[in-house]
Amino acid sequence: METLKIGIVGAGGMGSVHFNNYRHIEGCQVVGLVDVPEYGRPRAKEWGVTYYENIREMVKAEKLDLVDVCTPTFLHKTHVMQALEAGTNVITEKPIALHLADAQEMYALAERQGKLLFVGQVLQFTKEVEILHELVDSQRFGKVLDALFERLSACPTWIKNGWLFDKEKSGLLPFDLHIHDLDVIVSLFGAPQSYDFSCSGNTGKTYKEHCRFIYQFAEHSVAAEAAWFNANFPFTTRWRVYFERAVVVNDEKGLIAYPAGGEPIVFDTEEDEKIPTGINLPPTGMFKAELSHYLECIRRGEPSKRVSKDQVLTVIGLLEEILESTN
């Protein structure tokens, strides 16, 4: 198997998560890192890779197969475009961009360059979401009648320099948190026919702390909730899908189906391998599964069907509309 050579852009939390997971994937090697010198040089030494001051230099010197962009949201477009222009495939962390036009421009450049562009929507690579896709597609319990997705957190005050609370840099709650659930919703059901939402929060804040969303589809609706609570609230993520003949719940108890007239069914969601993240997430196999999938796409020269271009653009378009209406 040919070894794929990878360069990472961004020496922070997600860059470290991806580096650690690449070490567990056969047939690839991280060889370079780009970041500002004060962070990049010591991290490159720690990782045992070469430090570079810019993406073009790294791609040229290392003859890279892939650049993995793990920088803050407001830098994604610049770094993705630089990597594509240098002539390599790219993975970027979510969101790809804060504006639909920017995302379209990035995909268009990838196509002109004959390169592949992937977006890190990691929930698609969890056992729970994989099982949900199978249940929806197979209609094992009938058609979906209703669904609810929740993603609730204390305010992420640990973010350096406060960029996450700047609308123009992060996209705030919709782009940082709700994007995870909306990506799953769109991947399951396509673009909604219509939507509505309401948001609330403390006065004096420049952003909304809590939002509820309703997405209307042809035969059902999906509700969602996202929050950065001004409270010492534990991170909570769960969803519930009501089918014609069962309710399927994913929460702290596990993934359980409650069929009509039958005993609960507990699905096996145990991962084959759990890799420490080094950030505020427990050990997990989802990042390895995600990165392995994208590397396989590169070997085959094919775009991802798990996180498709149309899916990404639909999500970004919806979130951009929502964000512009929240203030």
pLDDT truncated to tens, each residue of the chain (327 aa)?
899 999 999 999 999 999 999 999 999 999 999 999 999 999 999 999 999 999 999 999 999 999 999 999 999 999 999 999 999 999 999 999 999 999 999 999 999 999 999 999 999 999 999 999 999 999 999 999 999 999 999 999 877 778 999 999 999 999 999 999 999 999 999 999 999 999 999 999 989 999 999 999 999 999 999 999 999 999 999 999 999 999 999 999 999 999 999 999 999 999 999 999 988 889 999 999 999 999 999 999 999 999 999 999 999 999 999 999 986
- Cβ atoms of residues 118 and 90 within 8 Å: yes
The model's pTM = 0.97
In DSSP notation, 106-136 reads HHHHHHHHT--EEEE-GGGGSHHHHHHHHHH
- Is there a shared CATH topology between the 4-93 domain and the 127-268+307-324 domain? no
pLDDT of residue 327: 65
Calculate the average pLDDT of the chain. 97
**102: nearest Cα among 66, 74, 83:** 74
Topology of domain 4-93, CATH: Rossmann fold (3.40.50)
User: What are the domain boundaries of the chain?
Assistant: 4-93, 127-268+307-324
Query: What would the pLDDT profile of 214-267 be if each residue is shown by its tens digit?
Result: 999 999 999 999 999 999 999 999 999 999 999 999 999 999 999 999 999 999
Q: Provide the residue count of the chain.
A: 327
pLDDT of residue 191: 99
Taken in order 121, 3, 75, 85, the sign of the CA dihedral is: negative
d(CA 276, CA 287): 10
- Cβ atoms of residues 23 and 31 within 8 Å: no
d(CA 231, CA 239): 22
d(CA 150, CA 153): 10
Query: What would the pLDDT profile of 295-323 be if each residue is shown by its tens digit?
Result: 999 999 999 999 999 999 999 999 999 99
Phi and psi at residue 236, in whole multiples of 5°?
-135, 125
3-state SS, one letter per residue, for 136-205: HHHCCCCCEEEEEEEEEEECCCCCHHHHHHCHHHHCHHHHHHHHHHHHHHHHHHCCCCEEEEEEECCCCC
In DSSP notation, 201-218 reads --TT-SS-SEEEEEEE-S
CATH homologous superfamily, domain 127-268+307-324:
Dihydrodipicolinate Reductase; domain 2 (3.30.360.10)
Q: How many CB atoms lie within 10 A of CB 152?
A: 18
Dihedral-angle region of residue 317 (phi above 0 means left; psi in -120 to 50 means alpha; beta otherwise): alpha
Letter string b/e over residues 200-221, b meaning 16 or more CB atoms within 10 A of that residue's CB: ebeeeeebbbbbebebebeebb
